[in-house]
Structure 1
């Protein structure tokens, strides 16, 4: 495998991992922001102050959600630039070892991502919070949890 194809594979895996990680954390952050805004709204209602600004923020948050940031390639470029992967080395064996090392990193990241996806697919309760687990268990035996 050439250096460029390894570099692209590594970029692709890192970007995918960052996006999936962001989505997990963004869902929690979105709930936290909604709760905070609802609390602020209740405080304003108690003070008999108009809540139009908070309402606009809540609807904007519900409509747009949180957007994932662009993948920052600068750290990967810096790592590769510092370690002379690009420049052909005098010893071709060293160059092959370095390319194999990049290949191993890319392969490891892809395998970890696939493993996590399979784990979540075949064990759906693994990533659920306690409230959802209780609700699903109650539903399984024909009961419903009060809101």
Structure 2
């Protein structure tokens, strides 16, 4: 075995762009209605809420992982939208009074708009506000992370 070579250049940060969005508010979601979010809470600053909190603007093209969770009082089905169209591979559903969780890998372009949409056929999906001792409870969240 020969001698070791010179050190290579430093690598890129493992996570360069990310953000977390939530909702505490009680909201009745009609079919094809987006969840109203607040944020970003922490993150890299490459995402912004637009359209009164109903969509998230993406600043940089790339491949992203998106995770979401929505708690409802009725059966529900949710999915992530890209520029208003539901991304089929992001759709998840749950039974009455349960939490709907989903995850997807998305190829996004700078300027794309993401939303978290009720796509169930129910007349409405109420998202409750939970009584807690001291703090409000998150009843919907979405996290996005650039992975490439």
Q: TM-score range by the shorter chain?
A: under 0.3
Higher share in helix: 1
Higher share in strand: 2
Bigger radius of gyration, 1 or 2?
1
TM-score (norm: length of structure 2) = 0.21
TM-score (norm: length of structure 1) = 0.21
